Each structure stands twice: as C-alpha cells, then as structure tokens.
C-alpha cells in the first residue's frame, strides 16, 4: 500500500494533511498517535469510505477506493452490531459480501474461506453460537476472521488488542506474525505503545500528518514523541517507552 500526499477534511476542518506512508508485503506497521490524530480516518480513506481532497492511495500499484479488493478491515469492537441475530459463521461470511454480491448465495469457495478463517482464530467449534453470546475476546476473534475470510493482501487493524484477555492477545499476536510470513501487509492502530514497539517492524507517528516513521529502535529522540502526542518532558509516555528525556 502506498499513500502519497493525502489530505482530508472532516466537518470543514483538516483531519489529515500531506500524509505519506508505505506498507510493504511481509511488514507490520504500527500507526501511533493521540486521540483525534487521524488514525481511524486514514484507515477509512484507504477503504474508500472517505475521499481525500488531495493525494493518492494505491494498493498493488492500482488506485484504492474503487472497491474493497484485497483489503481486510478489523474495526473497533463497538462498531459492530453484536445484537444482530447472526451466528459466528454467518458473521464471518459477511466479510465476503462485497465479493459474493448482494442477495446472492455463498458458494463453495466462500464457505471454504470462512472455514479457514474460523480455524485460524480458533473459533471453529463456536461457529453456530449467536454472536450476542460471545465474550469480548471471542468477538475480537470473529472480527479478525471476518477480515481474513476475504483472503486479503492488506489487513487494516483498528485497536485490535484493546480490552482483550491474555490468551486472545497471544493468539492474535502469533497470527499476525504468521500473516507477515505469508507476505501479507498489516497496518495497525494501537494505544498500547510498548506492545507496538515490541511487535511492529516500523512505527508511524501520526498527528494529522506523519511526524516520524521508522523502526522502533530508530525513534529514540524524545522530541518526535513530544511533538506527536503534545506532551511535556515529564510525561509518563517517555518513561513507558524507555525513551531518554
């Protein structure tokens, strides 16, 4: 995925300004920034749900936004309608709606993709359970399976570890590592900065524009973190990251 010079307004105010970002195959990039920095807005622009007024977004060299194509999206859990009367299996199948087409039946390839996705998140044995009866960790695994059912080349993850139990965190961490080895590209927003620094090969610090972009070990200058988060040198942010003041 290649983002070049992307600027976007929301409600008449700048939400993104001149954003440049590339995510390559086999790479997991952590998208880091404070609330209101534009992280989710950027993911929605990649999906084609929001239209930039400047710049271009390409996936595999082609303009993104004309269709979901090879993009899998894992939204934050509160964005999904968990009170809708669906089984786990049918919820995961909704990830392929764009490919199947509205009012058309799923075919053998769709069912195979759903089976594979459920297996990868260890939810096959709960495939017939109503989604409203799931725990928080199980719900997160359904959202990941729903994205994987599309068999994407790019996976967008919006706060995938928020509020999860340790076993689910470990399962998803291992799964994301496997996807990297399979040459998938992953872009992940997260507020868990130490975990992002440990897990991601690159960090992109975003606050409406890209403040810094590089491997965690290269982002040791406290000035870039202070600028990205608008905090003082006494803030606990730097301590938690092990960045010298």
Phi, psi angles (nearest 5°) of residue 179: -65, -35
Q: How confident is the model at residue 71 (pLDDT cuts 50, 70, 90)?
A: very high
Whether residue 29 contacts residue 188, with contact meaning beta carbons closer than 8 Å, is answered with yes
- Percentages (nearest 5) of helix, strand, coil residues in the chain: 40, 25, 35
Q: What is the layout of strands, in order, in the sheet containing 54-59?
A: 13-22, 2-10, 54-59, 62-63
Q: Which residue in the block uniquely carries the two structure tokens 């977004």? A: 57
Q: How confident is the model at residue 203 (pLDDT cuts 50, 70, 90)?
A: very high
Q: What is the pLDDT of residue 24?
A: 95
pLDDT at 223 over 90: no
Q: How confident is the model at residue 230 (pLDDT cuts 50, 70, 90)?
A: confident
Q: How confident is the model at residue 210 (pLDDT cuts 50, 70, 90)?
A: very high
Q: Which fold has domain 1-70+153-245?
A: Rossmann fold (3.40.50)
pLDDT tens-digit series, residues 90-145:
999 998 876 655 556 767 888 999 999 999 999 999 999 999 999 999 999 999 99
Q: Domain limits of the chain?
A: 1-70+153-245, 81-151
Longest CA span, the chain: 59
Q: What is the pLDDT of residue 237?
A: 65
Q: What is the pLDDT of residue 233?
A: 64
Length in residues, the chain: 245
Query: Poorest-confidence range of 24-38, 135-149, 190-204, 205-219?
Result: 190-204
**pTM given for the model:** 0.90
Q: What is the pLDDT of residue 244?
A: 58
Query: H/E/C letters for each residue in 42-100?
Result: HHHHHHCCCCCCEEEEEECCEECCCCCCCEEEECCHHHCCCCCCCEHHHHHHHHHHHHH
More confident residue, 192 or 41: 41
């Amino acid at each position: 995925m290649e983002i070049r010079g992307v600027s976007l307004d929301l409600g008449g105010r700048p939400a993104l300004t001149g954003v440049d970002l590339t995510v390559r195959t086999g790479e997991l990039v952590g998208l880091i920034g404070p609330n209101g920095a534009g992280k989710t807005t950027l993911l929605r622009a990649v999906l084609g749900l929001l239209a930039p007024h400047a710049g271009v977004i390409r996936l595999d060299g082609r303009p993104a936004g004309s269709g979901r194509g090879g993009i899998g999206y894992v939204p934050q859990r509160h964005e999904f309608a968990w009170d809708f009367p669906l089984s786990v299996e049918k919820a995961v199948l909704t990830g392929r709606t764009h490919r199947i087409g509205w009012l058309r039946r799923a075919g053998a390839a769709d069912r195979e993709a759903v089976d594979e996705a459920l297996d990868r998140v260890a939810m096959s044995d709960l495939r017939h359970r109503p989604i409203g009866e799931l725990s928080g960790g199980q719900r997160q695994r359904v959202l990941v399976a729903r994205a994987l059912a599309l068999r994407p080349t790019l996976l967008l993850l919006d706060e995938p570890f928020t509020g999860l139990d340790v076993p689910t965190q470990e399962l998803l961490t291992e799964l994301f590592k496997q996807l990297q080895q399979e040459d998938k590209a992953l872009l992940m927003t997260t507020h868990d900065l130490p975990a992002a620094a440990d897990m991601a090969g690159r960090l992109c610090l975003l606050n409406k524009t890209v403040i810094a972009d590089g491997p965690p070990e290269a982002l040791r200058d406290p000035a870039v973190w202070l600028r990205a988060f608008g905090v003082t040198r006494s803030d606990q942010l730097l301590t938690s990251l092990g960045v010298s003041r």
